[in-house]
Each structure stands twice: as C-alpha cells, then as structure tokens.
Amino acid sequence: MDKKLVIPGEFLSDDVKLADEGTYVEDSKVFSSVFGVASLKNHIKVVPLSGKYIPRQGDLIIGIINEVSFSNWIVDIRSPYEGLLHISEFPRRIDNSEMSKYLKVGDSIMTLVKDVDQSMKVELTLNDQRLRQIKDGRIIEVTPSKVPRLIGRSGSMIAMLKSETNCNIFIGQNGRVWLTGKDKNLDLAVRTIQKIEKESHIPGLTDRIVNFLKEAKGIPVKQQVKKKAKKRRDRKARTGTCRRNCQRRKKKAKKRSWKMQKNLRTLKRINPVGFWMNCWINNMSCMKL
C-alpha cells in the first residue's frame, strides 16, 4: 500500500535517506511530523490534512489586495505572511498616485511568488503573460494541502473536471481556485471540488468522482455497472467456450494420432517392407514405432 493515514510521531521507516516533507529523523528512524496522508513510494512524504499555505518561490497563487501603500500593494495570499507587490512588478509603468486606479482593495489577482527571503518577506510579481487581474468567474477556497489531490497525477483530475464541467479552472498553490463558465456548470464544478477536498484521503477517489459527475448529469451509474458486468460475463463465457472447444480438438487430434500409430505398428508387424515404404513415401519419422 503506497499511502496511509498517519499521526504525528508515527514510525515510518528505518531508511533516513527516504525522509522528505512532513517527516523528521530521530535515532536513525523516520517519523511523521504531522497528521496526514503518508506517501511511501520512492520517498516518504506526509501531506497534512489541514494547515496554512507556506509560500515558496515560483508558486502560482491567487491573492486579494488588502492595502495600497506608497509603492506596494499589500496582498492577502492566504498565509500567515503577507505578499508584497511592488509598483515595479506591475506589467505597465504607472505613477504611485495611480496605483488605486489599477488595483484597489478587494481586487483579486493571479500572481507569482517571485522571492521569499529568510525573514519570510514574500515578493510577488505580475510581470508574466500568465498573470492578470481576475474580473469574472468565481473564486472558492480549499485546504492548501489538498491542492495536489485536486490537480491529480500528471494533471489527470483537473483535466477531467475541465472536460466534464466545461469550465476553465485555475488552481492556486495557496488553495484558491478560480472558475469561469456557465452558472450551471460552475455549480457542478464547485460541488465536485468540495467533494474532492472532503474525500481526498479516502482510496478510490477518482472512481467516486466519475460516478458523481455522471449522476449529476442524469446518467444512471447502476445500469452502466450492470452493462459492464454483463460484458465481463459474456467475455468469460466466450473464453470458456473457446477453451472447451480447444480441449476437444486436442483430444480428437490425440486420438487420431494414437489410431494412426496403432495402424502403423500393425503394418510394421505384418508387412515390414510396406511399412518402411509408407514411411518413405509420406516422409514420416517411424524410428519411435
């Protein structure tokens, strides 16, 4: 089993080289430092089930303007630490007096963590084509530690969500999610994301989400399950029939071979010359007879 639920102080491994995030080493042993889900594949990493977002350089996040100062926008990044967006990191040149004209208190932005120093001063930037002010759609919040599960392995979960709900979805590393689309589709996407957040630690999540989306669209899941089961039964029946037919053919071939050998032995005893002539004409190996 690659994943399991662990508590702080729970023993995980004797190999200290495998220790990763959410663990600590004591007496050459690896223990969990948080309550969460331990991933035991390749490295030992424990993802907490709850907790605040800790910013790291390169993170794409969604921030909300809290304050406009002389040369900085103070940004709520859903962390114990505030983000600073300097006027020089705005995508166009503006004067200090115009700052509130472009970004005012309460505005939401898609931003990038440019740098985090030792004192946890978080510098943000908008100087990237991917980054912008958010003016439409909805923004919801999930637990930051659940973001990897919401994205899925190689982006599989978020790709399925976008496809099934026909919504554009951006997931910030700080747990804020921006969605755009039709209201009906947005409602379904929000309910699905909330379900993923609630059940992210329970095995079989992907199958449950697939069924949840089908039920929401009015597709009877039970009938589909029955159809799949019927197909499996039919396939097994066909396989069993083929196997029985194959066994019958083998038995018949073996019986014919045995009768042929018996006839050849009789011919060899009664007419040796005819026996060897028959073998030579039919290019048969008769040495074992």
pLDDT in the model for residue 39: 80
pLDDT in the model for residue 233: 66
In angstroms, the Cα distances linking 10 to 1, 7, 200 are 16, 6, 21
pLDDT in the model for residue 158: 94
Residue 288, domain member (yes or no): no
Environment class of residue 201 by beta-carbon count within 10 Å: exposed (0-12), middle (13-18) or buried (19+)?
Answer: middle
Q: Give yes or no: residues 158 and 206 share one domain.
A: yes
pLDDT in the model for residue 69: 92
Residue-number span of the structural domain to which 261 is assigned: 224-281
Pick the last residue of a domain from 99, 134, 169.
134
Q: Give yes or no: residues 106 and 91 share one domain.
A: yes
Residue 149, domain member (yes or no): yes
Residue 289, domain member (yes or no): no
pLDDT in the model for residue 34: 82
> Across the 289 residues of the chain, what is the mean pLDDT of every consecutive 10-residue run?
80 89 89 83 79 89 95 94 95 92 96 93 94 95 90 90 94 96 94 91 85 83 56 64 72 67 64 62 53
Domain count, the chain: 4
Residue 10, domain member (yes or no): yes
pLDDT in the model for residue 30: 92
Q: Give yes or no: residues 112 and 143 share one domain.
A: no
Q: Give yes or no: residues 182 and 208 share one domain.
A: yes
pLDDT in the model for residue 221: 62
- Kindly provide the residue ranges of all beta strands, DSSP E only, lying in the chain, ordered along the sequence: 3-6, 11-13, 23-26, 29-32, 36-39, 45-48, 60-68, 72-76, 83-86, 108-116, 122-125, 132-134, 138-141, 168-171, 176-180
Question: CA angle at residue 149 from 144 to 152, to 5 degrees?
Answer: 130
Residue among 57, 192, 177 nearest 108 (CA): 177
pLDDT in the model for residue 111: 97
Q: Give yes or no: residues 69 and 118 share one domain.
A: yes
Pick the last residue of a domain from 216, 241, 270.
216
Half-sphere CA count of 198, side-chain side, radius 13 A:
8
The torsion of the CA quartet 26, 21, 5, 151, rounded to 10 degrees, works out to -170
DSSP, collapsed to helix, strand or coil, labels residue 113 as strand
Residue 36, domain member (yes or no): yes
Q: Give yes or no: residues 77 and 101 share one domain.
A: yes
pLDDT in the model for residue 20: 87
pLDDT in the model for residue 74: 96
Residue 53, domain member (yes or no): no
Environment class of residue 10 by beta-carbon count within 10 Å: exposed (0-12), middle (13-18) or buried (19+)?
Answer: middle
